Amino acid sequence: MFPRWILYPLFVIFAGGLAATLFVGFIATMVWPTLPSLESLTDYKPKIPLRIYSAEGLLIGEFGEERRDVVAINQVPKAMVDAILAAEDERFYQHNGVDYIGLARAALANFISAGARQGASTITMQVARNFFLSREKTLTRKLNEILLAFKIEANLNKAQILELYINQIYLGQRAYGFAAASRTYFGKPLNELSLAEIAVLAGLPKAPSSFNPVVNPSRAKLRQQYVLRRMREMGSISTDQEQAAVQLPLRTKNEIKEFATHAEYIAEMVRQKLVEQYHEAAYVMGLNVYTTIRVRNQTAAYEALRKGVQSYDRRHGYRGPEGFVDLNADYTEEDLEEALQEHADSDEIHAAVVVEANPKHIRAYRRGGWIDLYEGGLIFAASALDSKASTNRRIRRGAIIRVQLDDKKRWAITQMPLVESTIVSADPKDGAILALVGGFDFKRTQYNHTTQALRQPGSSFKPFIYSAALEKGISPASIFNDAPLQLSSGETGSEPWEPKNFEGTYEGPISMRTALIHSKNLVSIRILQSIGTQYAQDYITKFGFDAKLHPPYLTMALGAGSATPLQMLVGYSVFANGGFRINPYLISRIEDNHGKVLFEEKPVRANLEAERAIDARNAYVMSSMMRDVIRAGTGAAAKSLGRGDLGGKTGTTNDFLDGWFCGYNSNVVTITWLGYDQPQTLGHNETGASVALPIWIQYMATALSGMREEPLEMPPGIIQTNGELYFQEFSSAPDSESPLSAPPNEALRKP
């Protein structure tokens, strides 16, 4: 017999427990019908971002609030599952949604520590919270969480629940789900992760910010060790495996590029197109867009443009620091980081705060660490280190400068260029864009110079006038007088004009071929006079140009109208492909998240479906002349590529405002441009040959690598006499006694 005094407390405990059970049961009965439907779980439709890929299938852009890769449970490595269970819910396969042992252990630990230090949420409870509930810490929410866990377990099996958890849980850096986190933190898919990396990811759900391996590598390492220890205690791994994983250094994505290449302008073009079609749903429905961009070409274009712009910028000297900050004697690294907030890095060009400076040494701080610059790295800004330099130009303590690693991996002073540039390259046979860089730095300006910048094309427009002349019966051997000319306001459409050749010299009577090779302005004007400005304005529309942007005045001969680099690409493609008009395209196909093709481009190919713009003979003769531009004319620097199948034309506008080079072979057509957004002179003698052609050459060296030379195939209807080409209808050379060719015979059939 128990003493009566013992029975009273037992009765109280029993009664209290019964009352509590009845109360919870009553509440559960009342709450259960109000619980949300599990439709969002059984018909799981996660927010998957818009992803943009290169032609090879490499990721080059992504848009969406959430980074997410949905993965089936049978595609998740066993080690990943083991690590998640070890970190979050070791009794997942034993409980029915609520781990009572875990609850009791957490309650005891919290009681002993006099605070809510431990939680006891199972994976099922976390699924309930992530899909249906807030994270507020109230008894009502916890009760709902428990009841939802029971409901989930009653309707889904363990594999389904675990799959939902693995795909839905937030793991920091906008990454939702372990597959997305794997790509975000380590730059590779789940099935390529090491045990050490798996343990890092498995430790993230508890506190994604605190255990972020990029931001807090030391805390992430401690959390990783905890997960590995729990895996060993559960028998998932051996002691040797645990120790080997612990010893591996953390190599996170801060050491890996996020995308396969710099394609920000391309990604933005695709984004705009998809949002126009699908509206805001484009960001969440998991669209995969495959472009025509080739990573090798795109990388080469980006690097060529950056190098070309910086080379031009350095030729014009150091302008001085970007700004200045006041540094107290007791400044901290946090102060320096704050000072750099408004000076974003531009890829390899870093902003830095100077703390010490003299003509032989600079000590500076850039994001993440200290750097030292010595004499070799100071040459570019030597004048700004002189004590006699003006206050706003002198590099001193508190100056914000730009630095980058030189060819010998030493830090050197540089600066952010003010000039802009663009390069666009395509296959002239079908218009597939191979590379496109719309500006020096997308973060600085999203203005896409390839598609939006209407600029004067200068002499790069002359081939279209010369092509019109061929249509009128003029041949490459036709003689025109390279001599001064005075034009009235009626002939120019504005003011009286006395045009000059670039060199300021004149050669007298020369052939049309020679005039194009050496870009003779006066001959180009006389050619336009001979064929008529109205005819020329109508004719250039064959190449895709807008007639309204090229008024029918003699200034058109020197490219005084307006065109975008993309329009110039369309025009030059006609010469490159034998006379066909193609439409440039960027998107080859669009797939949904399940791989279903929603759209596929069917390009119009030259010589098949494409519209013929000009006669094949015209395209052949023009290409032969533009090959001579590279062989012996203003584009001669391109001979460094060692190829005989290249043609092109330089372009420089009045007062050196714009520099162009437009060139091609039968497989690649590429347009480069350089100038200021607010037009200003590039400087005396800064021509298309000096500012745009070097970019073109560097890019084409890669674009044409491994590509065999393709000689021009002469079409029927052309004869060669005395080394010159003529259309068969005009087999005898035109009268060349006059400084100007005889007026074209309108009765002659156009070729």
pLDDT per position as a tens digit, 244-253: 999 998 888 7
User: Tens digit of pLDDT for each residue in 407-423?
Assistant: 999 999 999 999 999 99
| Residue-level pLDDT at 17 | 52
Helices (H), 32-138: 39-42, 78-88, 100-113, 123-132
**What confidence category does residue 434 fall into, taking pLDDT thresholds of 50, 70 and 90?**
very high
746 vs 33, 472, 579, CA distance in Å? 89, 7, 22
| Residue-level pLDDT at 729 | 64
> Do the beta carbons of residue 668 and residue 704 sit within 8 Å?
yes
- Range of weakest confidence among 81-95, 247-261, 331-345, 703-717: 247-261
Token couple for 529: 């006079």
Token couple for 53: 């890929």
Residue 361 has pLDDT above 70, yes or no: yes
User: Tens digit of pLDDT for each residue in 487-525?
Assistant: 888 878 888 989 999 989 999 999 999 999 999 999 999
Residue 66 has pLDDT above 90, yes or no: no
| Residue-level pLDDT at 245 | 95
Tell me which of 680 and 329 has the higher pLDDT.
680
Mean pLDDT comparison of 42-56, 85-99, 385-399, 530-544, highest-scoring range = 530-544
- 587-591/288-291 β-pairing: antiparallel
**What confidence category does residue 29 fall into, taking pLDDT thresholds of 50, 70 and 90?**
low
Q: How far apart are CA 649 and CA 663, in angstroms?
A: 6
- Range of weakest confidence among 135-144, 509-518, 609-618, 739-748: 739-748
Instruction: State the DSSP code for 709.
Output: P
Q: What sign has the CA pseudo-torsion 221, 224, 230, 236?
A: negative
Which residues are annotated as catalytic? Answer: 88, 459
Ramachandran region of residue 146, left (φ > 0), alpha (ψ -120 to 50) or beta?
alpha
Ramachandran region of residue 436, left (φ > 0), alpha (ψ -120 to 50) or beta?
beta
User: Tens digit of pLDDT for each residue in 107-138?
Assistant: 555 555 544 444 568 888 888 888 776 556 55
Name 298's Cβ contacts closer than 8 Å, sequence gap at least 6.
54, 60, 261, 262, 263, 266, 434, 435, 436, 437
| Residue-level pLDDT at 110 | 53
| Residue-level pLDDT at 297 | 98
Tally of residues, the chain: 751
Residue 30 has pLDDT above 90, yes or no: no
- Range of weakest confidence among 96-110, 237-251, 403-417, 451-465: 96-110
- Across the chain, mean pLDDT equals 88
